Structure 1
C-alpha cells in the first residue's frame, strides 16, 4: 500500500521560509503528533544549510526519537541555474553537501527546483522570499535574455545534480511549479529527455498542475514510470493554492487509478500550505487520502 508523508510546506507555512533550526525541530515534532511516520526536510540557502549541518547529529537523534523516517531531502539553492558560472559552482557544492546530509538521514531521494529564469520582474518574483500562491506576475522583457542559452544552462545544471545524487546512491527528482523554468508536464518531459538518466524522476505536483488546467490523469499518463513521488494538494484549477484534499476540484480517484496503472509504489506527500487550522487540515486530509488509496487498492 502506498504511504502518505508530510511535505515541508507545513513547516514553511507555520515557521517561515526557511524555518530556523529550533522551529525545524518543532515542526518535525508536530508532524509526528499529527500521525505522520514519513516526512521531508529542506535546506534553503547557504546559511540554513550551514545551521543544519552543524547540528545534523541532533537532527538525526530528534527524528529517530519521533519515529519519523525522512524520505526526501530538498537542497534549494537558487544559484544552481545562475548565468554566473562561479555562483553555479557554489550552489552545486552546496547541493552535494545536502546529498551527503540526505545519506546521513537515511533518505533515498533528493529534490530541487528548476527555479525562476533570470527575467526582469516588475512584480513579486515567484518564491523569492516566501512560498505564496495565487500571485499575479508581471515581467519587463529583458532584451539580453536568451531562452535557448538559459535552457542549456538549466539542462547542464540538472544533469550535474543528477550525477551528484547518483554518486551518493540517491534518486534525483524535480517537480513542475507555476512560475518556474519548468512549469508543466510537457516541459518536464523535455527536460527528462535531455537529462536522459534512469536515476532521474518526476514529482507529480497536483496543486501546480491543476492550476495550469492540466487533466491530471493525462499528466500521469504522459509521465508514466517517471513519477517517483507525488505532492498532493487541492485547488479550484484557477490559482495554485495548496488546499486540503477535497477542498478543490481535483479528480482524486482518476489520479490514483492512473498512478496504479503505471505501477506507482512511492510516497504521496501532503503538500498543504497557508490555510487556516493547518494541523486540522493535514490530519483530515491524511485520513481522506488514505481512504482513497485503499479504495483504489494503490
Structure 2
C-alpha cells in the first residue's frame, strides 16, 4: 500500500479555488514529506475556471516527475438526489469535466460525494450540548424510495461517464448522509452492481458514528474499497485529527485491508489545519510504523 496525501488538506478551506501554480507547490510540499501518491479535488467553479487541459496536464506531469503518483480526482458535488432535471443535468455535465480532468492529470479514479436525504435541513452533531435532540427536519411528503432511486440513477449515469473515460468511480459516504454505514454501502454496491464502482472509505467517518473501521473493511471486501482516507477521531469531540491521535487502530485497519486483498492507497486527509506540514508529517510517521508492524 502506498502512502498518499490529499492536496486539499493544504489550503485553509478544502474547496478553495486553485490559483496559478498553487497545486504545483502543494504537490512539491507533499512529496517533500515522503508521500508517494496524491489525490486532487475540483468544485464546479474550479472545473469551469481553473482546470483546463493544459493546467491538468502540467499538474500531472509535475506530480509524476517528482515521484508523486496521482490516484483520485474528487468532484466536490452532492446534488445527486435532486429531482430537478436542470440541476441533475448540470451535475452530470460537471462530472464529465471532472472525469476529463482526472484523465488529463493521470488519475485512475474519479470520486464524488453522498448527499443528505433530499430536502433535509442540515444535520449537526453538537457534542458540547448532549441534551439537544438530534434529528433531520424532513420536508413534507418525503419519500425514501423515490430519493434512493433518484440517487442510484444519477450514480449509474456518472459511472457510465467514468467508464467512457477509462476510469473507475467511487463515492465517499459521510456521517449523516443517505449512505453512512457499511450495510448501506453494501446496498449501494448491490444496486449499482458494477465492479468499476466502489467506496472511498474514510476511517474518521466511521469512528465518528461509533462504527469499527476494521469490521467495516471485512464487510465491504477489498475489491470494492477503491481508496482509504486516513484521518483520526476521538469519537467524542474531535474529528479530523492526525492518524494516531484518536482511537482508530490503524495497525488493525491495515491488517484487515491486507487480509481482504485491498490494492489501493492509504491517503492521509487532514482538513482545516493551520499547520498542514506538521500534522501530515505526524500522520505519515504513524502510518509508516503501523505498516512496518512496529506500533
Q: Which residue of 2 aligns with 1:243?
A: 241
Instruction: Tell me the secondary structure at the aligned position of residue 238 of structure 1.
Output: coil
Q: Which residue of 2 aligns with 1:258?
A: 256
Tell me, yes or no, if structure 1 residue 147 matches structure 2 residue 144: yes
> What CA deviation, in whole Å up to 9, does each residue of 1:12-33 have, x standing for no partner?
4x35523333343442232233
Instruction: Tell me the secondary structure at the aligned position of residue 140 of structure 1.
Output: coil
Give 1:79 shift: 3.0
Give 1:286 shift: 0.8
Q: Which residue of 1 aligns with 2:181?
A: 184
**How many aligned positions are there?**
286
Q: Which residue of 1 aligns with 2:169?
A: 172
> What CA deviation, in whole Å up to 9, does each residue of 1:123-162 have, x standing for no partner?
x577xxxxx9979976433113222111000011111111
Q: Which residue of 1 aligns with 2:71?
A: 71
Q: Which residue of 1 aligns with 2:50?
A: 52
Distance 1:62 1:125, change over 3 A: farther
- Map 1:1-298 to 2 at 5 A: 2-12=1-11, 14-22=12-20, 23-45=22-44, 47-54=45-52, 55-121=55-121, 139-225=136-222, 226-239=224-237, 241-295=239-293
CA distance in 2, matches of 1:75, 1:28: 18
CA distance in 1, matches of 2:27, 2:183: 34
Instruction: Tell me the secondary structure at the aligned position of residue 49 of structure 1.
Output: helix
Give 1:275 shift: 3.5
Distance 1:70 1:52, change over 3 A: farther
Unaligned runs of 5+ in 2: none
CA RMSD of aligned residues (A): 2.5
Give 1:280 shift: 0.9
Give the TM-score, by structure 1 length. Answer: 0.87
Give the TM-score, by structure 2 length. Answer: 0.88
Q: Segments of 4+ in structure 1 off by > 6 A?
A: 132-137
Larger mean CA deviation between 16-25 and 206-215 belongs to 16-25
Instruction: Tell me the secondary structure at the aligned position of residue 56 of structure 1.
Output: helix
1:235 and 1:243 in contact (8 A); partners too: yes
Higher helix share: 1
CA distance in 1, matches of 2:73, 2:37: 12
Unaligned runs of 5+ in 1: 127-131
1:28 and 1:63 in contact (8 A); partners too: yes
Give 1:89 shift: 1.4
1:72 and 1:108 in contact (8 A); partners too: yes
CA distance in 2, matches of 1:16, 1:111: 15
2:61 and 2:105 in contact (8 A); partners too: no
CA distance in 2, matches of 1:221, 1:57: 37
